[in-house]
Structure 1
């Protein structure tokens, strides 16, 4: 009887030992997989951090190059405009540029004013904000700066536009697609952007460069 009990206990012990080893191996494999995943996660975090730093450096370099490009473009545009040959029978005043028998004053680079302030500056120069009547004149004006005020603003009626000389806008003008849209109900003055070469209504309190004409 005793021998039978011992054999049973021995069998139970072997079974437990077998399961202990099995679970121990399983725990080992799970722990190993966890450690490997943890290591891989840490490596990915480090890679992501390094990539973010590289992107910040590249963005900074891009911003610097873009700013330099814009500055050079404005300087080049101004130099090209200054190459315009003055007519001997109608010379423009010093600091003004002649184009198609008209004289234009271009505000200094990076100088900006509201629409009213821009017009006042022109009037103090015995002139007024530019009135654009041809595509050629539009192309000339839009080269002066990134965004430029012109002498067109909303009249008393919603769809009425008047030039600074009091005349109404004739025809369809040179509006950008979808403009004028009077976004927010406060866009009563008109500017020209270099990259669109078209008119856009904007809040009169915005500050842009400007072009005077006489």
Structure 2
């Protein structure tokens, strides 16, 4: 009985062991499926991430390539512009060299002409000096007065004429109405008469005072205070008075004494 029990026990133990083995095997098969699925998902996720990284890398490379290409294009344009500017500056430099050479030649020609004119001027000045010396040596005509190497004629006492008639008289004597350029000459002229016509007028252009030789009045001249005033828009000729010893514009038709100079 004991042997049978053991045997049965042994059998039952065998049965239980087989059952345990079957259950263990079944449990292992069930629990083994889940790890395999997890590994598959991880692998798929890694592939996706890798693919996304690849796409990202390609996008970055493409963007950088585009940016580099754009920078290269800008650099090429800048270099091209610099080359054009350099060529333009070279052309301008070359043109300036040509202009410099031409100007140098023109300056040499002008210098030569100036030297020739200077020689001619000096010769003319010597001739004028000789003429002045010879003129000073010649006596003034009878009835004329000498002052500072020049000859002056004063109208007869009590004889008066208009400005134009006075000038005509001077021209008939080979002279013209007196031209006063210094204070000493002014004081010399005013001695003879209370009022004397001189060779200054603005008959050609209003307010543009000229001497009878065509030369403009230089500076302010020797005008009386407030003159010339062109009173009544008719004062175009100039007289000097013994009292004022200054210029004064009056109507040309007035009759005064006059002074000639040659």
Provide the TM-score with structure 2 as the length reference.
0.48
* Other structure's SS at 1:188 match: strand
Residue 161 of structure 2: which of 113, 118, 130 is its match?
A: 113
1:151 aligns with 2:199: yes
- Inter-CA distance 179–101: structure 2 relative to 1 (3 Å threshold): same
CA distance in 2, matches of 1:157, 1:138: 25
CA positional deviation for 1:90: 2.8
Match of 1:36 in 2: none
Query: How far did 1:89 drift?
Result: 1.5
**1:180 and 2:228 matched:** yes
CA deviation map 1:140-175 (0-9, x unaligned):
001110000000001443320010001111111000
**1:177 to 1:91, Cα distance in 2 relative to 1, 3 A:** same
Question: Shift of the alpha carbon at 1:185?
Answer: 0.4
TM superposition shift of 1:88: 7.3
What residue is the counterpart of 2:239 in the other structure?
A: 191
Q: CA RMSD in A?
A: 1.3
What is the count of residue pairs matched by the alignment? 128
Indicate the SS of the match to 2:235: coil
Structure with the largest fraction of helix: 2
Q: Which one of the candidate residues 166, 180, 203 is aligned to 2:214?
A: 166
Q: Which has the higher contact order (CA 8 A, sep 6+)?
A: 1
8 A Cα contact 1:90 1:101, kept in partner: no
The question of whether the paired residues in 1 share the 8 Å contact of 2:203 and 2:237 is answered with no
Say whether 1:127 aligns with 2:158. Answer: no
2: CA distance between counterparts of 1:88 and 1:152?
25
Q: Distance in 2 between matches of 1:92 and 1:193?
A: 25
Q: Separation in 2 of the partners of 1:118 and 1:173? A: 22
Query: 1:24-103 to 2 correspondence within 5 Å?
Result: 89-103=137-151
Normalized against structure 1, the TM-score is what?
A: 0.58
Question: Moved runs in structure 1, 4+ residues, more than 4 A?
Answer: none
SS at match of 1:211: strand
- SS of the residue aligned with 2:169? helix
**Structure 1: 5+ residue stretches without partners:** 1-86
1:76-107 C-alpha deviation (Å, 9 max, x unpaired): xxxxxxxxxxx972310000000000000000
| The structure with more radius of gyration | 2
Measured in 2, the distance between the counterparts of 1:142 and 1:97 equals: 13
SS in 1 for 2:187: helix
CA–CA distance in 1 between the matches of 2:207 and 2:256?
A: 23
